[in-house]
Structure 1
Amino acid sequence: MYRVLLYYCYTPIEDVEGFREEHHRLCLRLNLLGRIIVAPEGLNGTVSGRTADCEEYMRILKADPRFAALEFKIEPSEAHTFQKLHVRVKPEIVHVGLPEIKPYERTGIHLSPQEFRDMKDQDDVVILDVRSDYEHELGRFKNAVTLDIENFREFPDKVDELAQYKDKKILTYCTGGIKCEKASAFLLEKGFENVYQLHGGIIKYGLEAGGEDFEGKCYVFDGRVAVDVNSVNPTIISTCHHCHTPSARMINCANPHCNAHVPLCETCGEKLDGACSEPCQQHPDKRPYDGTGTYPKLSNNYNPEQGLLSYRAPKVTS
């Protein structure tokens, strides 16, 4: 049996390069696959691995005083949900262009999934989705305010559009909670006074509150692409990009120059050979379509033990 771990922790890390090397070796030893970002402001990752390896990984991280408050969102899986391992150093653990904003010093009030569920329908509350277009088009909370952004780094430019809600309680949410830490901190910096965030994000809300009133599916950044969250009153709100029938099946356009994240039903997926449109289907650089609509990025997969090489964890049989 495998597990998928989603986590982040805003905490100062002084020697980011040294930590990255050490952490990469740990992941290699435990045969974990996934994407991990190390930055001066903290750690962010989604990894998959065998249950025992994930347990050991969590134990080691939690034993480090810097990550004592770290919380893992844990989901079962039948196999690895990643094909490769990346451990990278970046300026921020989620790119928004606000390295001066330090959520470990000041951020919105954390709400548990149960507290969020109890508050979300109150008259003086606005639910704010801080994710990108392709994410909230696939699934979002009922009555949520969404922003027209292709990437989270566009969020600061959209804050002026939220001025009409300054007298309300703003409940922010995202996939796992990491974007809300920066978003809610930035809202406080801009003069919003009553700012909250769904602690642990949509994933934890699904695990602990049944996902009630989350409409559609949740976009995730691993091989699963879209996951069910709502076991109370589930719906599908997205439609096929081509034929417009209800569909929660997400793909990346097979044309790498487009690479759009769009819902595409299986019938249209076969008809267009994984492309989002007929012009993209005819593009000479179109990638082969294997029915999944996912295309892992090529990487030199730096291995701290051996330099640059193509690394894949060894296959483990049950």
Structure 2
Amino acid sequence: MPSMPSGEPHTPKLEPHVAKVAAFYRFTPIGDPESVAGWVDSLGLAHNLLGTVLVAPEGINSTLCGTPADVASFFKSLATDPRFTGLDIKFSTASAPPFKRWKVRLKQEIVTMGVPGVDPNAGVGTYVPPRNWNALISRSDVLLIDCRNTYEIELGTFQGAVDPGTNAFNEFPEYAQRLENSDQPVAMFCTGGIRCEKATAYLRQLGHSQVFHLEGGILRYLEEIPPSESLFLGECFVFDERIGVDGSLQPSR
């Protein structure tokens, strides 16, 4: 694998009306993050992609876009590394590219919680597929927590969800430590699922015995659940130029 290139981020031209957006992550030990970052960077350049990839010793996290053919070819190439086969990818579309450039960054964490020793590979909450989510969060005994930040929640959230009042994910542990009833069922959700991986792992470490989270996050829920059955109210905030997506995963801005 090549080393990380230097210089200005690559900015290919991507024609409007053809942008396929892909969001994915994978918690997997990466002993050679610099080498992996360089390889992924070269793949993105070769396939004319736009977006951001985070690589850390704990895994990989990305949202990217390109033409449907280039995105498909990128993931086919990425899967040649056994650590990145069978990725759970959330797809959506945009009438114009939601990113301006391609960049790959080395990080200490692929999602920053700031608590040493929280390893989703060692145990997370129970995954709840979108088709079973409505029934779970409609139960009166379930505490429903939105793991996202307040500015995201203001755009849209699930009916009855609690806002932890955070401005960054590294503030979530302080909120979690204030939860008193460790026996109460807790259902958690976030945009694509990655924050819930760490949040549910952390709650389990704190002694909570019934922890659940929405498999694939809000994006997968909106993909699979028709608007007529959806309990998600408003729009889903996304970290790109679309700002938010509606119940049909179309840009709302």
Same fold (TM over 0.5): yes
Distance 1:129 1:92 in 2: 21
Q: In the alignment, does 2:206 pair up with 1:206?
A: no
- Which residue of the other structure, out of 91, 100, 116, is the alignment partner of 2:133? 116
- Which residue of the other structure, out of 195, 217, 226, is the alignment partner of 2:211? 195
Deviations 1:209-237 (A, max 9, x none): 13511111111001100110269xxxxxx
In the TM superposition, 1:8-47 aligns within 5 A as: 8-47=25-64
Deviations 1:121-173 (A, max 9, x none): 01221211011010111111000111111101100111133224x22211110
Q: In the alignment, does 2:174 pair up with 1:157?
A: yes
Deviation at 1:94, TM superposition (A): 0.5
| Contact preservation (8 Å) 1:31, 1:49 | yes
| Contact preservation (8 Å) 2:43, 2:77 | no
How high is the TM-score relative to the length of structure 2?
Answer: 0.87
Cross-structure match for 1:173 = 189
Distance 1:183 1:218 in 2: 19
Q: What is the one-letter code of the residue matched to 2:132?
A: E
Cross-structure match for 1:216 = 234
Distance 1:200 1:154, change over 3 A: same
| Contact preservation (8 Å) 1:34, 1:46 | yes
| Contact preservation (8 Å) 1:170, 1:195 | yes
Q: In the alignment, does 2:94 pair up with 1:57?
A: no
In the TM superposition, 1:234-249 aligns within 5 A as: none
Q: What is the one-letter code of the residue matched to 2:215?
A: H
In the TM superposition, 1:73-152 aligns within 5 A as: 73-152=90-169
SS at match of 1:162: coil
Deviation at 1:118, TM superposition (A): 2.3
Distance 2:248 2:145 in 1: 18
Is there any run of 5+ residues in structure 2 with no aligned partner, and where?
A: 1-17
Deviation at 1:99, TM superposition (A): 4.2
SS at match of 2:178: helix
How high is the TM-score relative to the length of structure 1?
Answer: 0.70
* Root-mean-square deviation (Å): 1.6
| Contact preservation (8 Å) 1:202, 1:229 | no
Runs of 4+ aligned residues of structure 1 deviating over 3 Å after TM superposition are none
SS at match of 2:183: coil
Deviations 1:4-40 (A, max 9, x none): 0011110111100011011100000001010110000
How many residues were matched structurally?
232
Distance 1:140 1:92 in 2: 26
Is there any run of 5+ residues in structure 1 with no aligned partner, and where?
A: 232-247, 250-318
Cross-structure match for 1:238 = none
Identity, % of aligned positions:
39
Distance 2:201 2:115 in 1: 10
| Contact preservation (8 Å) 1:176, 1:202 | yes
Distance 1:207 1:62 in 2: 23
Q: What is the one-letter code of the residue matched to 2:99?
A: F
Deviations 1:69-127 (A, max 9, x none): 42100012223210011100100000111242110221111111112122110122121
Cross-structure match for 2:88 = 71
SS at match of 1:222: coil
Distance 1:190 1:100, change over 3 A: same
SS at match of 1:163: coil
Higher relative contact order at CA 8 Å, sep ≥6: structure 1 or structure 2? 2
| Contact preservation (8 Å) 2:125, 2:200 | yes
